[in-house]
Amino acid sequence: GQNIDQPTEMTATEGAIVQINCTYQTSGFNGLFWYQQHAGEAPTFLSYNVLDGLEEKGRFSSFLSRSKGYSYLLLKELQMKDSASYLCAVTPRSSGAGSYQLTFGKGTKLSVIP
Amino acid sequence: DTGVSQDPRHKITKRGQNVTFRCDPISEHNRLYWYRQTLGQGPEFLTYFQNEAQLEKSRLLSDRFSAERPKGSFSTLEIQRTEQGDSAMYLCASILGPLSDYGYTFGSGTRLTVV
């Protein structure tokens, strides 16, 4: 089976840096995604890691350690608009006919305060 | 069309009624997914199409649920004899070919409320 854990809520100050952690246990692994979801809206893609290491995209960075089943999303120079839920998701299978379905964590609700 | 479209955005129905949702994926995307999301939870996989073939269904998809993608373009998700537990956001997503750096493109979802 699959199990994905991430903190339920976090609060951070505008302009600061915040790290959202995600740990996972899956029967197979083909990559880890981070999505941002504002209240009442669809998830939007932030990052994808399949190899160990850090991927940087502007103010957002994502790190993966496959041996530890661990990832984090790093948000720098926080803005009020970054207040949202951040979803960690894993693709547990890889095959030619694989569905590449995503297994999501419950999400971390980030509140950015002035 | 630059995104995944879902219709309707909101649906309120009485328990026991049937409802149908529609998803129009990005035109060149051959893989289409349905997910369900309840409050405070991440989306849960329901079913997956590659072109017109429904290749995988979750155990969450009871006999009351049926999905189609008749011509490999738009898809419909029907729920028969709705129950209050069916109240959720139903999300459609699409992707072209194998897993890519761009992830899945989700639609804005259909929020179902069963009263």
For residues A89 and A104, the answer to whether their CB atoms sit within 8 Å is yes
Span B101-107, average pLDDT: 81
Contact A99 B55 (CB under 8 A): yes
Bigger pLDDT: B108 vs A98: B108
Q: Rounded distance, CA A86 to CA A60, Å?
A: 12
Which residue among B42, B48, B105 sits closest to A101, beta carbon to beta carbon? B48
pLDDT in tens, B62-95: 899 999 999 889 999 999 999 999 999 999 999 8
Cβ of A108 under 8 Å from any chain B Cβ?
Answer: no
Q: How many CA atoms lie within 13 A of A41 on its CB side?
A: 14
Q: What is the pLDDT of residue A96?
A: 44
Stretches in chain A below the pLDDT threshold 50: 95-96
Token duo for residue A113: 């305060």
Q: What is the pLDDT of residue A93?
A: 63
**CA A19-A24-A27 angle, 5° bins:** 160
Categorise residue A68: left if φ over 0, alpha if ψ from -120 to 50, beta otherwise.
Answer: alpha
Q: What is the pLDDT of residue A87?
A: 97
* Res. B46: pLDDT tops 70: yes
**Would you state the torsion angle of the CA atoms of residues A31, A26, B97, A39, taken in this order, to the nearest 10 degrees?**
-80
Span B48-67, average pLDDT: 90
Contact A35 B103 (CB under 8 A): yes
Please name the residues between 64 and 93 in chain A that touch chain B, using a CB distance below 8 Å: 87, 89, 91
Distance from CA of B109 to the nearest CA of A (A): 6
Which residue among B42, B102, B107 sits closest to A42, beta carbon to beta carbon? B107
Token pair 């849960």 in the structure block, residue: B44
